[in-house]
Amino acid sequence: MHGIAFLQNLAVVMIVAGLATMLFQRFKQPVVLGYFLARVH
């Protein structure tokens, strides 16, 4: 069952990273900051 939890966590991180990327691009900020934000989540 650990595999399912891992995949769920990975999906959440990928979704947050995608949303952060769109948000930071909209405000013309470096996308790397969005990736750091996703990692903190």
Residue corresponding to tokens 């990692």: 39
- State the angle between helix axes of 2-26 and 31-40 in degrees (0 to 180), rounded to the nearest 10: 150
Neighbouring C-beta atoms of residue 36, cutoff 10 Å = 13
- Residue 4's identity, in one-letter code, is I
pLDDT of residue 41: 54
- Give backbone dihedrals phi and psi of 11, rounded to 5 degrees, phi first: -65, -40
pLDDT of residue 5: 92
Size (the chain), residues? 41
- Residue 30's identity, in one-letter code, is P
The domain tally of the chain equals 1
Domain of 18? 2-40
Distance CA 10, CA 26 (A): 24
What is the full per-residue pLDDT of the chain (41 aa) written as tens digits?
A: 678 999 999 898 889 888 888 888 888 888 787 677 667 65
